[in-house]
Structure 1
């Protein structure tokens, strides 16, 4: 499943298309002003799943929103226990591993070589999965519908970084990028509203009673969190999202654990 999110902003970069690999796939299209094309790297390793990496070139503001894969790249992913694999390109343009899967607690390293230029990134997968305790629906006076709210226990001992994905009736909800850290709430029992706003030009409430609501609760490392946190506020900062990739490419590399929970939407008016 591919869900597009469009953010139109003025920066020094070009259009980039970024997507998050979960058990489904989601695309984030970021429309930026004209600039020289740059390599966009989008890669991740999730617990018990094969590594995936997508390579595209950024495009100009006036170009169509199609993104051709970069062919002929050398892409490899390794971990801190000595496992390593060269990823093969599949029919959909994705570079995928055949054997290397995410294991909680390991650190993963990405190396991409395109036309002699090398790009590298590293991401540490937490040894823990932070489980969702429950999901409730939270009415907000200004809206005619309720927002999902997740409840979970933040582990003690370290600052943690979270991101939520929202699915409504199996479809990834648009325009709802949300990442946060525990800051001074480390070890607290936490409740977080997951934003669900109307899509541009739509008069239809995004959530109705009886809808199937699924939330994916991700535990990120700091580098991936910084990318998604800055992605969420680029319209005000007028800069590109902060990438954790070295070598001058746009994008991100993320290894994370996650939990999912599903409810049927209902609330008291």
Structure 2
């Protein structure tokens, strides 16, 4: 056996560091993380920012300055109210970033099943999530499945296909016979988080979902030139332990 190695030089261009703001406000409180991107040859994922002024204002007249806690996080018990539009403003080192988001009503889950379905010549295991659409309004949803506390699958959905009725989201888990760390094991704990979000948050997350196929960055959610997004949302959680004995066959 003969092996060889070759040094490959990657021709990349240095980019200026940019601020990143990841903010949310819900029925339980507010959390904003402020950081900066690092150079490509820096192994850390980002640099925390602890000197920002973070303010959230509602169009109902409410307003709160969100205090710094640690590691780039700013947290408060300032809660969102459904139907209220919130403005997040972040000032740091002479930069001003802002974004808005409208708080939604609480979503409702009808059912979550583990389903085995045939796709072409292969059989796959799916997570079949059913939601009851919030009636008489346009809605957008963000769904995130965690496996043993670690993010596993996520998706966004809008109610244009079956408004006011039941909505379905299928998560592809893995193919029959597949091996590896991504395959679920008996006893794994699944946590399903369902958020009702507004259109601005949906548009950002949808563009992020398409990144692998489009080769582009997500759309801007903030003014001022920072990365990240802001979302006001209501959410519910559902917990279920995974067992192969619970998987149902779907012949449709």
Q: TM-score, normalised by structure 1?
A: 0.77
Q: Aligned partners of 2:229, 2:173: CA distance in 1, in Å? A: 24
Q: Aligned partners of 2:93, 2:37: CA distance in 1, in Å? A: 16
Maintained 8 Å contact 2:115/2:127: yes
Larger radius of gyration: 2
2:132 maps to 153
Give the counterpart of 1:113 among 83, 86, 91: 91
Q: Secondary structure of the equivalent of 2:157?
A: strand
1:135 aligns to 2:112 (yes or no) = yes
Q: CA deviation at 1:66?
A: 3.1
1:241 maps to 218
The verdict on how the C-alpha distance between 1:241 and 1:74 changes in structure 2, with shifts beyond 3 A counting, is same
2:101 maps to 123
Q: CA deviation at 1:93?
A: 2.5
Q: Aligned partners of 1:197, 1:76: CA distance in 2, in Å? A: 43
Aligned pairs, number:
230
Q: Aligned partners of 1:248, 1:255: CA distance in 2, in Å? A: 20
Give the unaligned 5+ runs of structure 1: 1-31
Give the unaligned 5+ runs of structure 2: 1-11
- Mapping 1:1-269, distance limit 5 Å: 34-47=14-27, 49-97=28-76, 99-126=77-104, 128-141=105-118, 146-169=125-148, 171-174=149-152, 176-196=153-173, 203-265=180-242, 266-268=246-248
Q: Secondary structure of the equivalent of 1:235?
A: helix
Maintained 8 Å contact 1:227/1:241: yes
Maintained 8 Å contact 2:114/2:248: no
Runs of 4+ in 1 over 4 A off after TM superposition: 142-145
The verdict on how the C-alpha distance between 1:221 and 1:180 changes in structure 2, with shifts beyond 3 A counting, is same
Q: CA deviation at 1:60?
A: 3.0
Q: Aligned partners of 1:121, 1:197: CA distance in 2, in Å? A: 37
Q: Secondary structure of the equivalent of 2:154?
A: coil
Q: Secondary structure of the equivalent of 1:230?
A: helix
